[in-house]
Structure 1
């Protein structure tokens, strides 16, 4: 079965499992200086909390908490409006016209069966429609705020210094770049995933809770690399490379940071962790004393 894992990486990993022996948090050090880096799940059910103990422990130990981008800015309605405008088709074009007849028929049938609104999506690019349908399905299943939102609120409440690895404008650019993927591939892959969402997410979160980055890469990263290598390198490899100087700069200070990024950024041969190791830095699973 074909699945475009970039969509799910951008959307969320979610399900309900008990904690395993390890977590998805690593400790990176350069001499006496250190930071923690943990993989995030962008949407979760209330029953998925509390997180593995390494997450609150890393938060408590950190003076600064760093996110992918400015969480206040991307949660502002103005950012959503900017994204929607960037994802609109050129005048005169339609969603149906962007897809072949078979894909359009499949999308229409799925929309009708799931009572998802397709008509309002007619002026948007297929990648945006795929993302929107994924979010709507997740909300129907009871998914809400994920780790990023919760830890951003907690960090502010605790008076932690906040930081980000990229600007909202940069993140918007990466999201818009997803529209360069073959639209029929994107829609069909999304529908494949939506039809088995609960089962797929259960497996994803199980691997995340077990701290199993290798299996998570095989489930999500490798299929994207095989099916849409341009997308893989754009939203994962290139962003990881862009983040590397920021992480090295953090390690040059005595303060301890807790960096939170999407779980797939910490999996596979092009991961942030692999790049840090190539720089000669010490990278190890964070284990509580």
Structure 2
């Protein structure tokens, strides 16, 4: 169980960004953001991508080739880094004697037990984990069950960047992310887990819609299917996971317009949707936003 947990933790921890509509011309999940003659690229990522979705849409590789620096949310350690895995697991677990099940209502505890049983797991194997980690692991188990578990856009492009000796930069530290994830769900564990269980019950359809919206660069669908439900059912998580991080990232992204390099900023696609999106924040500050078409060179 520990080996399985560590694998899922590494592959899922960046899943901070929590999906069909048609366009006259096929749009992409990549945007050019300009200030005068200077510009950078911002792209939406899917942190866990089924193998069948590779290779990436052509515009990702076209833009990647043009930039000097790949900017990611955080420096997530490789699965082979056992020391980092243990640190992450420890941070997202309760202290000795504290359990998740003791914080759940009898109804939600039973629902969680039943869901884990469907994966051949027992609650006792997860009971020391904090709510967000349990949510990540359930998502990974569901994706594995449906043969959809694979490396994400971030991981794929990071490997290319390292091979090509491109510079890597990060919007936040891994320590910050883990502190954030540690807090999520801590205000009302039952409500948080119940919400996650509701999503898992129809996850196959939801995930297919997510992939479709991502490939089309359809941020209206992304807003409808991810941002709006999160704001309605868990406003605190939305503010912590999406809104506040976007505001913090904005000032960091603006600094990339003061150098002589070209950057590709890669963030979870949900951060590019809704009223508080990074793209909206940049537009409000006077930056020109251009969504790339899939046939653009």
| TM-score between both structures, scaled by the size of structure 1 | 0.89
Q: CA offsets, 1:178-221, max 9 Å, x none?
A: 13242112212222222222111011111111111111111101
Q: Which of the numbers 10, 13, 26 marks the counterpart of 2:31?
A: 26
**More displaced 10-residue stretch of structure 1: 149-158 or 174-183:** 174-183
Q: CA offsets, 1:135-192, max 9 Å, x none?
A: 2222232211111101000011111111111111111122112132421122122222
Q: CA offsets, 1:50-90, max 9 Å, x none?
A: 22211001101111111111134787333332222222224
Please say if 1:135 is aligned against 2:160: no
Q: Which of the numbers 264, 272, 290 marks the counterpart of 1:266?
A: 272
Q: Which of the numbers 109, 116, 134 marks the counterpart of 2:114?
A: 109
* Structure 1 residues 75 and 188, CA gap change in structure 2 (3 angstroms): farther
The alignment of Structure 1 onto Structure 2 pairs a total of residues equal to: 278
Q: Which of the numbers 103, 127, 142 marks the counterpart of 1:122?
A: 127
Please say if 1:229 is aligned against 2:235: yes
* Structure 1 residues 73 and 50, CA gap change in structure 2 (3 angstroms): closer
| TM-score between both structures, scaled by the size of structure 2 | 0.87
**More displaced 10-residue stretch of structure 1: 24-33 or 125-134:** 125-134
How far does residue 126 in structure 1 lie from its aligned partner after superposition?
Answer: 2.8
2:8 is matched with which residue? none
Q: Which of the numbers 169, 176, 179 marks the counterpart of 1:173?
A: 179
1:71 is matched with which residue? 76
1:155 is matched with which residue? 161
Q: Which of the numbers 211, 216, 234 marks the counterpart of 1:205?
A: 211
* Structure 1 residues 258 and 160, CA gap change in structure 2 (3 angstroms): same
* Structure 1 residues 88 and 169, CA gap change in structure 2 (3 angstroms): same
Contact 2:33 2:39 in 1 (8 A): yes
- Does the residue aligned with 2:97 lie in a helix, a strand or coil? coil
Contact 2:17 2:270 in 1 (8 A): no
Distance 1:145 1:256 in 2: 25
Distance 1:77 1:264 in 2: 30
